[in-house]
Structure 1
Amino acid sequence: MTEKNQFDVADLRREYTRGGLRRKDLTAEPLALFEQWLKQACEAKLPDPTAMCVATVDENGQPYQRIVLLKHYDEHGMVFFTNLGSRKAQQLALNPRISLLFPWHMLDRQVIVLGQAERLPTFDVMKYFTSRPKDSQIGAWVSQQSTRISARGILESKFLELKQKFSQGEVPLPSFWGGFRVKFDSMEFWQGGEHRLHDRFIYQREEASAASSPTSGWKIDRLAP
C-alpha cells in the first residue's frame, strides 16, 4: 500500500503520439535506420543524442548499467572509450556480451543493441585521445574510475597538479585508458504508439550460407509491444 508521504507514480502516464514505424519505413540493414534516427535526434536538439546506456554483467551475474557517449559507428560496430580499470572494462574482460540502449524519449524512441565488445587497438585509442580537449585528456589521468575516494577535493587537487605538469607539452596517453568496439548482432527499434500499441522491429544477423554471398544478412521481425 502506498504511504501518504510517498510520491505516487502509479498514475503518471501520457500517450505516445509522435509517429509510427511500419515495415515500409525499414531499411535492409539496421545501421542505415539507426543513422536516420540519430540524425533526427540531433536535428531535434535532444540533449546528448549520442548518450547510450551500457549494460554489463559481473562474475556473479549481477547486471550493471551506466551512461556513456557513442564516439564512432560503422558496419564493424559501435565505439566508446573508458578507463580500462573501470567496473565496466573489468566486467567486459570476463564476459564480453554487452547491451546498449539509446533512450531518445523526446521522440518516443528507443534503440537496443546486443553484441560483443572487443578492445580497440592502441592506434585507434591514441587517434581519439589526441582529438580531445586538453582538460579532458588530463581528466583521464586524474581518476581511477570506479574506485572509492574520500572527497572530491582529491580529484580537484590531482587535476591542478597534472595541469601544471603538462602545461608546456602534450598529454601522453595513459596506459590504463582505452576503448571498445561493440560488434552487434541484434538491433531493436522501438517507436511509441497510441494506446500502448507501440511499434517494435528487431533485426537479427543471419550468417550467410556457403552457397550465398560471403556477407551476413539480416532477419527482420515485428515484436508485440
Structure 2
Amino acid sequence: MPELDKLEEGVGEVAEAAEVTVRLPGMRVAYNGEALEESGLAATWTEQLQLWLDEAISAGVPEPNAMVLATADAEGRPSSRSVLCKGLDERGVVFYTNYTSAKSHDLTVTRYASVTFPWYPLHRQVNVRGDVEKVGPAETAEYWASRPRGSQLGAWASPQSRAVASRRDLDTALNAIERRFEGVSEIPVPPHWGGWRIRPDVVEFWQGRQDRLHDRLRYVRNEDGWRIERVAP
C-alpha cells in the first residue's frame, strides 16, 4: 500500500535523524600529541609558524596554507571564510582578495582581523590576530605575476560578494574579459584587487593533548618586543 510505504519511509527518516543526533555528542578524537613546551618554541613567532607550516606540508595536510579568516562589520557582526596565506614574514601574514569584497569592507572599517590555520590531522592549530594594512603595489604585482592566467582573468571578471542573477552571468563576464585581454601576454593587476597583511599582536600555537588538556602557548607583543605566555585550554 502506498500510504504504508510512505509511513515506513517517514519512520526510517526519523530514526536515521535520531541516530545522527545521538552520534554527534559522542563524536570525539583522542589527542595524544607531543607536549608543546616553552623551551621548545622558536625564538620568534615567524620561525615557529614556518616550522609548523613546513611540518604540515611534509605530512600531506590538504591545503596547508589555508586559514580561516574572521572579520566583523561596523555593527560588530562577525563573518568567517577560508582564504590562502600567500605571504609570511616578520611583518605578518598576507592574503589576496578583491578590495570590494565583503571581507575587505569589514577590514576597511575595523582594521583588525583574526586567522586560524586548522591542521586537523596534526591536532594543531595556529591563531594570528592583529591590525591590518593593505599590501603595497609592488608586492601585490609580484604575487599577481605568479598567478595562473585563468585566476587573473577570474579576478577581473568576478564582482566578489555581490549578488548575481545566475552562473551564466559570471560566464558571460569571463568571456568578455577573455576577449578584452586576448593577445595580451601580461594581464595587469585590477585596480580593485590586492593584498591584506595582518600584523599580529598575538600569535597562539595550539597542540592537542590527552584528556583535552591541550597546550596553548602565545607570543604576545609588548613594549619590549614579544613575550611568551601559557594559557589554560
TM-score normalized with structure 1 length: 0.92
Q: Is the 8 A contact 2:111 2:132 kept in 1?
A: yes
**Residue of structure 2 equivalent to 1:212:** none
Write out aligned runs for 1:34-53 (5 A): 34-53=49-68
Q: Is the 8 A contact 2:129 2:202 kept in 1?
A: yes
1:219 aligns with 2:217: no
Task: Note the aligned Cα RMSD (angstroms).
Answer: 1.3
In structure 1, what is the Cα distance between the partners aligned to 2:102 and 2:140? 19
Deviation at 1:19, TM superposition (A): 2.3
Deviation at 1:20, TM superposition (A): 2.2
4+ residue stretches of structure 1 with deviation over 2 A? 3-7
**Residue of structure 1 equivalent to 2:169:** 154
1:175 aligns with 2:191: yes
In structure 2, what is the Cα distance between the partners aligned to 1:45 and 1:22? 25
**Residue of structure 2 equivalent to 1:165:** 180
In structure 2, what is the Cα distance between the partners aligned to 1:175 and 1:129? 12
Deviation at 1:13, TM superposition (A): 0.8
The Cα offsets for residues 21-54 of structure 1, whole Å up to 9 and x where unpaired, read as 1122112221111111000000011110000111
1:75 aligns with 2:90: yes
Structure 2 gaps of 5+ residues are 1-13
Larger Rg: 2
In structure 2, what is the Cα distance between the partners aligned to 1:121 and 1:46? 31
In structure 1, what is the Cα distance between the partners aligned to 2:52 and 2:64? 10
* Greater fraction helix: 2
Q: 2:204 aligned to 188, 201, 218, which one? A: 188
In structure 2, what is the Cα distance between the partners aligned to 1:128 and 1:14? 38
Deviation at 1:192, TM superposition (A): 0.3
**Residue of structure 1 equivalent to 2:216:** 200
Equivalent pairs: percent with the same residue?
A: 39
The Cα offsets for residues 3-32 of structure 1, whole Å up to 9 and x where unpaired, read as 752522111012112322112211222111
**Residue of structure 1 equivalent to 2:10:** none
In structure 1, what is the Cα distance between the partners aligned to 2:196 and 2:176? 29
**Residue of structure 1 equivalent to 2:6:** none
Deviation at 1:165, TM superposition (A): 2.5
Deviation at 1:120, TM superposition (A): 1.3
In structure 2, what is the Cα distance between the partners aligned to 1:157 and 1:97? 36
TM-score normalized with structure 2 length: 0.88
Q: 1:126 aligned to 134, 141, 155, which one? A: 141
The Cα offsets for residues 153-176 of structure 1, whole Å up to 9 and x where unpaired, read as 211222122223312013221111
Deviation at 1:151, TM superposition (A): 1.1
**Residue of structure 2 equivalent to 1:211:** none
Structure 1 gaps of 5+ residues are 209-215
Q: Is the 8 A contact 2:158 2:170 kept in 1?
A: yes
More deviation in 39-48 or 22-31?
22-31
